[in-house]
């Protein structure tokens, strides 16, 4: 079984995304666009564009830093705004999108062409928080798609009971298959309490009771220093010590771009020591194509020494391949993202390890029988 451990369906980003108001959703999307590494350009002539029209970039953790810019979703995967009487844009998604949405039928069509059997739909609030939308995507293709539940992290401390109710609804009523958790968005919304402590504890106790895997995403913007990033990994270690029977997945991997220097990818030993690498229920995703495509040409084999080290520290049974489709198609096709591992890494993984990384590990994690 080939199982993509990290895929997306995307609702219409010109709407409310499941937020209480369209304005709230658009403000968050504008903030993320301002800080995204994709280059901005002027629509008229493709000259370098102006990020600063979107937000005061000297205030990286404040949604109030967003500036009036007539921000909007645009055709072909672009987000647009106005500055100095000119339209500026970023190609946040590949131009193959008709607008800024990507539905379940299109996802499965790409899976068919690439030879992917199943995919797990991931979540991030700037792509919408509506659990019903993602549950409907899975219902349309129940043998091909599974999906993660999402509960806004910033709302949990103030009303953990409501957060628990929504999680229970998403898992037990809607049939979603795990939880996505992104601590960055608590910080962004002004929550100062650590995500593994205090008012979050009742929520985590409920998660443990549901016995679903948790997919943790640590975003680069949250921690500007390596030590800050290591602190997040240590916090995850403490969380897993408190909940030893819960499966935890570090999405995307070890923040690859942070450790890219002079054309080399080097993950320091301190990362492996901070993360709960010895815990049997800890797993790490590898999404090399979507991150390294900004720095290297396909097949980006500069990642192989890093993958070899991951195999030494984790084994092939706790590494999960994923793509970030459709976003990865800014750099590669879906099939190329698969072939990057399938064609170039058997020397590192072995035949059985290859089968585990490309699907077997995900199938077992998600309660499926690996073929």
Homologous superfamily (CATH) for 3-10+101-365: Metal-dependent hydrolases (3.20.20.140)
Query: Can you give the residue ranges of every domain in the chain?
Result: 3-10+101-365, 22-90
Q: What is the mean pLDDT of the chain?
A: 95
pLDDT digits (tens, 9 = 90+) for 132-156: 999 999 999 999 999 999 999 999 9
Query: What's the pLDDT score for residue 263?
Result: 85
pTM for the full predicted model: 0.97
pLDDT above 80: residue 303:
yes
pLDDT above 50: residue 39:
yes
Sequence-distant (≥ 6) Cβ neighbours of residue 249 within 8 angstroms? 5, 213, 214, 215, 216, 282, 283, 284, 285, 320, 365
When pLDDT is averaged across residues 10-25 and rounded to a whole number, the result is: 97
Query: What's the pLDDT score for residue 371?
Result: 45
Percentage, residues of the chain above pLDDT 70: 98
- Helix spans in 141-246 (H): 160-168, 184-188, 201-210, 226-242
- Residue pointed to by tokens 């390890």: 353
- Can you count the helices (H) and strands (E) in the chain? 13, 15
Query: What's the pLDDT score for residue 350?
Result: 98
Nearest to 213 by CA among 147, 130, 160, 118: 147
Q: Give Rg (Cα) of the chain.
A: 20
Least confident of 57-71, 175-189, 300-314: 57-71
Residue 173 has what DSSP assignment? I
């Amino acid at each position: 079984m080939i199982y993509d451990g990290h895929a997306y369906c995307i609702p219409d980003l010109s709407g409310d995304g499941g937020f209480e108001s369209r304005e709230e959703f658009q403000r968050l999307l504008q903030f993320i666009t301002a800080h995204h590494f994709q280059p901005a350009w002027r629509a008229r002539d493709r000259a370098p564009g102006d990020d600063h029209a979107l937000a005061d970039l000297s205030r990286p953790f404040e949604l109030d830093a967003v500036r009036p810019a007539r921000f909007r979703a645009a055709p072909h995967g672009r987000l647009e705004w106005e500055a100095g009487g000119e339209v500026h844009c970023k190609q946040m998604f590949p131009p193959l999108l008709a607008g800024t949405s990507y539905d379940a039928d299109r996802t499965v069509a790409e899976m068919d062409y690439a030879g992917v059997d199943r995919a797990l739909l991931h979540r991030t609030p700037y792509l919408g928080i509506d659990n019903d939308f993602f549950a409907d995507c899975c219902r349309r293709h129940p043998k091909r798609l599974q999906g993660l539940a999402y509960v806004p992290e910033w709302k949990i401390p103030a009303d953990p009971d409501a957060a628990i109710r929504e999680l229970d609804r998403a898992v037990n009523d809607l049939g979603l298959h795990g939880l996505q958790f992104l601590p960055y968005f608590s910080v962004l919304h002004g929550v100062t309490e650590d995500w593994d402590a205090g008012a979050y504890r009742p929520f985590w106790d409920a998660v443990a009771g549901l016995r679903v895997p948790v997919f943790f995403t640590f975003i680069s913007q949250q921690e500007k220093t390596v030590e800050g990033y290591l602190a997040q990994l240590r916090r995850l270690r403490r969380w897993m010590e408190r909940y030893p029977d819960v499966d935890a997945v570090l999405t995307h991997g070890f923040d690859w771009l942070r450790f890219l220097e002079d054309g080399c990818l080097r993950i320091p030993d301190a990362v492996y020591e901070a993360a709960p690498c010895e815990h049997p229920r800890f797993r790490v995703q590898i999404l090399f194509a979507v991150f390294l495509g900004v720095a290297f040409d396909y097949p980006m084999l500069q990642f192989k020494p890093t993958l070899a080290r991951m195999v030494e520290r984790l084994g092939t049974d706790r590494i999960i391949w994923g793509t970030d489709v459709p976003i990865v198609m800014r750099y590669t096709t879906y099939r190329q993202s698969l072939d990057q591992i399938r064609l170039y890494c058997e020397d590192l993984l072995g035949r059985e390890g290859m089968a585990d990384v490309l699907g077997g590990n995900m199938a077992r994690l998600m309660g499926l029988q690996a073929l």
